[in-house]
Amino acid sequence: MTTALIVGTGSLPRALTQAMPDRPLIAAFDAFTPDGVDVDLRFRIERLGPFLRDLQDRGITRVAFAGAIHRPRLDPALIDPFTAELLPPLIVAMRGGDDGALRAVLAIFEDAGFAIAGVGDLAPDLLPAAGFLQGQATPTDTADVTRAATIVAALGAVDVGQGAVVQQGLCLAVEALPGTDAMLRSVASLPATLRPDPAQGRGVFYKAAKPGQDLRIDLPTLGPGTLHLAAEAGLAGIAWQAGHVICLDPPAMTALAAKLGLFLWSRP
């Protein structure tokens, strides 16, 4: 089976490519460049129809998606007749949340005859099994993780975000459109007067997929950079939904967490 990896920005395309036994075809959205991966083919949403035909002509039978993208502004002058037939349901879906838009994208590729693969299919080692990769959580940390998981589930139900920071039961921040890094930086900038006494519990960052999310695309992702930001925010550790969150380099993250004094918990 010949696979194409459709990529956006960030480190996930490289991590996924390195973890696969055979290098996939790398196709990138015209406006986005992945880190450390050579792009074989570029395309625009306005020319999605010809792009699908190109993949078919190259013998591609399976596609996967990796990397961050932002909703593009479409140029109507570039839309060809074939793509014009494909875009209406996608445009309608883009007016809602990210999950609906991504489901519409998957439907377009499936209707064109492509199988859709997720990270779990291509590189299962990037989805750590349940357990502590580093350190342990205190009872206060565990309670904060449970509270954060409840908040993230509520956010995900309305297709808003996939992460939250909780300290001693208080929600310090939730993830929205600006993303995880912006959320953690906002926590680091909070005045000490707005946060509980860290001696009683430093707080946790929790990340999870949205309820009912299609796990073949847009899984939450953690990497070494996330650990640095969590440490700068004064947190005790990071927890995530086991099997539903990508860790870009689990061994490197484990070593870095030990250095930074963070626990890492792949929570069942």
pLDDT value at position 94?
62
pLDDT value at position 264?
98
pLDDT value at position 72?
66
pLDDT tens for 72-88 read 677 888 888 888 888 77
Q: Which CATH number do you get for residue 66?
A: 3.40.50.20
pLDDT tens for 191-231 read 999 999 999 999 999 999 988 888 888 899 999 999 999 99
- Tell me which of 122, 148, 183 is where a domain ends: 122
Of the candidates 100, 125, 170, which has an alpha carbon nearest to the alpha carbon of residue 20?
125
Tokens representing residue 263 in the block: 């626990």
- Please tell me whether residues 109 and 239 are part of one structural domain: no
Counting as low any pLDDT under 70, the low residues of the chain are 1, 71-72, 91-100
- Please tell me whether residues 89 and 145 are part of one structural domain: no
- Please tell me whether residues 118 and 136 are part of one structural domain: no
pLDDT value at position 56?
96
Residues 6+ apart with CB under 8 A from 167: 144, 195, 196, 198, 201, 202, 203, 204, 235
The DSSP bridge partners found for residue 41 are 27
Core vs surface per residue 7-18: b (16+ CB within 10 A) or e: bbbbbbbbbbbe
- Distance separating alpha carbons of residues 42 and 32, to the nearest angstrom: 9
Of the candidates 4, 74, 7, 2, which has an alpha carbon nearest to the alpha carbon of residue 36?
7
Provide the whole-model pTM: 0.86
Tell me 212's DSSP state: T
- Tell me which of 122, 147, 182 is where a domain ends: 122
Residue-number span of the structural domain to which 102 is assigned: 3-122
